[in-house]
Amino acid sequence: MEKAGSIMNAEDKKKLLQITMMRWADNNSVQRGNRNELPKHPNSDNEWKDDLTLVLKNSRNPLTKNKKSVLNKIWNIYK
């Protein structure tokens, strides 16, 4: 069986990152009170919403070396 990363194209990887981040947020959301309050990820310097905004912004248009670096960093935080 091949590794999932070896058969996925860039669009699939970006979508998987978004889904992974949403799953992390759902698992770490506040169960009582305001569900919009999400804890800051311990390995990120940004709030969760800021990280997701950056992923969405960097997933538009072709990936540059810098965009790939940013997306890989965020992937390693939320995986």
What are the tens digits of pLDDT across the range 17-52?
A: 889 988 888 887 765 456 566 777 888 888 888 888
Domains of the chain, residue spans: 10-29+41-78
Q: Which two tokens stand for residue 44?
A: 């990120």
Which amino acid belongs to residue 43?
A: N
Alpha carbon separation from 30 to 18, 50, 51, 55, 63 (Å, rounded): 20, 18, 18, 23, 34
Q: Give the 3-state secondary structure of residue 44.
A: coil
CA distance 1 to 57: 33
pLDDT classification of 2: cutoffs 50, 70, 90: very low
CA distance 8 to 3: 9
